Structure 1
Amino acid sequence: MSILDMTVVSVALPTFIDVFHTTYAIAAWTMTGYTLALATVIPLTGWAADRFGTKRLYILALVLFVLGSVLCSFAWDIQSLIAFRVIQGLGGGMLMPLGMTIITHAAGPHRVGRVMAVLGVPMLLGPISGPILGGWLIEAASWHWIFLINVPIGAIALAAAFILLPSDKPSPSESFDFLGMLLLSPGLALFLFGVSSIPEMGTIASARVLISAAIGLALVVAFIFHALRATHPLIDLHLFRNRALTIAVVTSTLFAIAFFGAGLLFPSYFLQVRGETTLHAGLLLAPQGIGAMLTMPVAGKLVDKIGPGKVVLVGIVLIGIGMAAFTQVGADTSYVLLLGSLFVMGLGMGATMMPIMTAALQTLTHSEVARGSTLMNIMQQIAGSIGTATMSVVLTNMIKGRELAGPAIGSLSDPSIAGKLPPGALQTGFEQAGQAYGHTFMVALVLIILTLIPAYFLPRTKAVAPDGSDVAAPPIVVH
């Protein structure tokens, strides 16, 4: 459910713009608000699981997620929808790491690899089926059903959790870092709020952007000084002493800014420039997920044998090749080229995302893995939000700089606009809009190329944990 809801909403953005009479920058907050909630709650999940037990916390997360879904379906304006998406994100942020913790404990250390292989299937099917399901629901019923579909699934999940999950006895091992929480969670939220406000404000010099981001950054810096001195900090920054983890964090951050930022643009291009329906836009994105499904199992086996370094480099090169084609898009670019490029990018994604995570965690001891996973998840949320905001700002400014691109895109939702344009202007406008997307994808391509620098220093041999044991596949979930 949580994976589906991240991808379903991406194809619904033009619908929200039309239904709620809002702008793309404001509608994008339905995704950003969800991300903010995830970033806020992830640091608390590990401690809360120890304190209250994984079963009880998992059930609470399910209830929050389903409640947020129901509220989203009753949203009366874009502001209420954004607020309800935050509630949904609070549950979704806990669901995935908690589920992985429960399954890892049940499987035992010797079966984690096999279990992760099975669990990889829904993680890959989500990005493929999400846009397709979202597009079909919007066309066959209404946008409300992209959220209401979570109710029956959530009810089954709740019943299964009550009946099947064993009751665990909470055994809090560490005192809770309240000061760290008061510094980090609001700091992250304010910083991401400021960065994510750039597309709506249209400039980085806006008071809302600068003040929010500055206060948030100050709180995060204060947390860093606190965490380096605290006995049991909310996030263990001493993990950065591990060279392999530090290089992996830098690689993952650059990659997330480029890839997740560009990922928001793919469905928008098909919807706004090519005039596709939401269902067709979802189907057109499927090759990317199929490509990832093919390479992820192979990449996992190769990482065990030769280390993540070489695998990640090949993956990034493949993504760069696919992205390069999108830098040349126009109003009538061949679908064979576009779908082939998405497939190649998917092949690269399957060889990049999980191997980077493995590089970060494979040299940590068993007791450090949970803290390392939390650290990586937080960095990825920050990077994803920065990437989304960056690409939205670049695209918005590119379209504003072209006289006819904006009216052409607007004519898809309001045909009366097309009648006001001079003959031939509509096609010219769509061509200008395509060029605006192409130049925005160029920014993503440059960032992908820069990712090759830290990726070059990733380990190229199979790692052994500091305690001398063989490294098992860590329980990682990419949000």
Structure 2
Amino acid sequence: MTTTHEPADRTPSRELPPPDLENAPTGRAPKAGRTPAVIRLLVLATFVVILNETIMINAIPRLMTDMNVTEQAAQWLSTAFMLTMAAVIPVTGWFLQRVSTRRAYATAMGVFLAGTALATVAPVFEVLLVARIVQASGTAVMMPLLMTTLMTVVPEHDRGRVMGNVTMAISVAPAMGPAVSGLILQLGSWRFLFAAVLPVAALVTWRGLARLENVGEPQPGSIDWFSVVAAAAGFGSLVYGLSRFGGGGTAVPAAIVLTGLVMIAVFAVRQLRLQRRDVPLLDLRVLRHPAYALSLLLMSLGFMAMMGSMILLPIYLQSLRGLSPLQTGLLVMPGGLAMGLLGPVVGRLFDRLGARALIIPGSIGIVLALAGFTQVSTTMPYWQVLGLHALLMVSLAATFTPVFTHGLGALPSRLYSHGSSMLGTLQQVAAAFGTALVVTVMAGRAESRIADGVTRTVAQLDGMRLAFVISAALALVMVATALLLPKRTKPAEEPAAAGAPSETTDMALEPVC
């Protein structure tokens, strides 16, 4: 950590002081109760790129017609995006330690803009697919950059409130995506989806570069390309293999998943060796901190539950209830908006009450919502669907903000970027696993019921109910895990002179009760 008032790249006096100087008399430290300008800028940029990720959901049928591709090919626009995120995010921990905040921001948004512009004018499907991969490469940097910067510049006592504001932005974006895309597609071509995002992203990039301030000091170092290849192959294969389940046959997806797990093991062994020289691509020492490891598990289980519902509900509402994509987006939008708008409230409560007081009831709410969805039928009132979805989203809001803040807060500051990268990587893996799980369970149960002679509609409903039962069981594991959390976790101290606590013991935990 830098310990002077000099910014890393000698940018004039607008630079923020290091976070441990929050009482410095310069007046540049953020005032209590206010979100630092650098965080507001990064939140806005992250909102734009995440909105783009979900804005494609309703465009698949239009793309199939306009570009004369099959449904399986069109789905690659989402699959390739997710694969790229899983492959690139593990590298961001190393990247964010080697470049300044402004350079990381310029790189991420520049790549995203290039991909968006290419997608707008893509003449054929293959070019559009490449454009989505380029977009995902820029998107993959934004969330770890936001989280790392937040943990660096925001004092510990104010992190819950600021993380709540971050959660609001990144939760509202995916909630708005399907509805916004449905509205745009009513007005014109799928190209308008990218054309609408492009000027907004360009404006955000321009304003960000004009006002963004560097945080921390870049560290020199070389990259281990073997680790890059192993991470890309491992996490990419794992996510791709999981995404193949439910499409008919399990042998090939299982083989791809196994290959991914083997490559991840190779990657992990390589990181352990590089840690001896303190030059890992992704520092696995973050897992030595129990509070962070528990937060990873909670986040993964929560994302499985969320992604499972995001896959099942559109199938239920459109295939079995006959709603249009726009109607479906509008029906689930209140839950997403509620999740986002409650973010600041949850953040302030976290600062006052700690993690357990929020994560335990939040996990119980997730169980109740998913248990309610096990009763779906062709006559379930829409208000009941809306209410259960809103309960699920509100419960996830009560869980995610404390989980992110509590977990990253348990790490020493030099591991913030690696901790953020690990969180981002496992988000992609959990999303893929949750999607594969519910689709496989639903499809398997439906096929079994059809073989018994029931109608396809009844078979699909039975499959959905069983998938929601499995999701509710995973949420029960969340409740049990949340009970293991301490009320509060003090941040791990930086390694100091002889006699300093080791990384395996430097995290002081308050009593659970």
Q: TM-score, normalised by structure 1?
A: 0.82
What is aligned with 1:433?
Answer: 460
Summarize the Cα distance change of 1:251–1:147 in structure 2 as closer, same or farther, 3 Å threshold: same
Match of 2:488 among 445, 462, 468: 462
SS in 2 for 1:199: coil
Q: How much has 1:170 moved relative to structure 2?
A: 7.1
SS in 1 for 2:55: helix
1:290 aligns with 2:337: yes
Q: How much has 1:117 moved relative to structure 2?
A: 4.6
Contact 2:164 2:345 in 1 (8 A): no
Equivalent-residue separation in structure 2 for 1:170 and 1:240 (angstroms): 24
Summarize the Cα distance change of 1:81–1:391 in structure 2 as closer, same or farther, 3 Å threshold: farther
Summarize the Cα distance change of 1:430–1:189 in structure 2 as closer, same or farther, 3 Å threshold: same
SS in 2 for 1:172: coil
What is aligned with 1:180?
Answer: 227
Contact 1:69 1:84 in 2 (8 A): yes
Summarize the Cα distance change of 1:287–1:114 in structure 2 as closer, same or farther, 3 Å threshold: closer
Contact 1:139 1:278 in 2 (8 A): no
1:240 aligns with 2:287: yes
Structure 1 stretches lacking a partner, 5+ long = 405-424, 472-479
What is aligned with 1:387?
Answer: 434
The amino acid across from 1:66 in the alignment is L
SS in 2 for 1:285: helix
1:224 aligns with 2:268: yes
Match of 1:203 among 249, 261, 283: 249
What is aligned with 1:254?
Answer: 301
Equivalent-residue separation in structure 2 for 1:441 and 1:15 (angstroms): 30
Contact 1:13 1:27 in 2 (8 A): yes
Q: How much has 1:104 moved relative to structure 2?
A: 6.7
Q: How much has 1:118 moved relative to structure 2?
A: 4.2
Q: How much has 1:447 moved relative to structure 2?
A: 1.7
Summarize the Cα distance change of 1:22–1:398 in structure 2 as closer, same or farther, 3 Å threshold: farther
Summarize the Cα distance change of 1:394–1:24 in structure 2 as closer, same or farther, 3 Å threshold: farther
Match of 2:102 among 52, 55, 63: 55
Cα offsets for 1:249-303 (capped at 9, x unmatched): 2222222223223322222322222221222111101121233135433332332
Equivalent-residue separation in structure 2 for 1:365 and 1:195 (angstroms): 33
Percent pairwise identity: 27
Cα offsets for 1:26-46 (capped at 9, x unmatched): 544332221211122112223
Alignment of 1:317-396 (within 5 A): 317-396=364-443
Contact 2:159 2:351 in 1 (8 A): no
Q: How much has 1:16 moved relative to structure 2?
A: 4.6
Alignment of 1:413-452 (within 5 A): 429-452=456-479
Q: How much has 1:350 moved relative to structure 2?
A: 0.8
Cα offsets for 1:55-98 (capped at 9, x unmatched): 23322322322232233345566665444322211111113333
Q: How much has 1:305 moved relative to structure 2?
A: 3.0
Cα offsets for 1:165-210 (capped at 9, x unmatched): 357897324443333223222221122222222233x12212xx24
Alignment of 1:265-280 (within 5 A): 265-280=312-327
Cα offsets for 1:312-336 (capped at 9, x unmatched): 1211111121112222212232101
SS in 1 for 2:249: coil
Cα offsets for 1:328-356 (capped at 9, x unmatched): 21223210110110111121011111212
Contact 1:291 1:344 in 2 (8 A): no
Equivalent-residue separation in structure 1 for 2:147 and 2:141 (angstroms): 10
With 252-261 and 19-28 compared, the bigger mean Cα shift is at: 19-28
With 390-399 and 105-114 compared, the bigger mean Cα shift is at: 105-114
Equivalent-residue separation in structure 1 for 2:414 and 2:386 (angstroms): 43
What is aligned with 1:474?
Answer: none
Contact 2:294 2:481 in 1 (8 A): yes
The amino acid across from 1:217 in the alignment is L
Summarize the Cα distance change of 1:241–1:47 in structure 2 as closer, same or farther, 3 Å threshold: closer
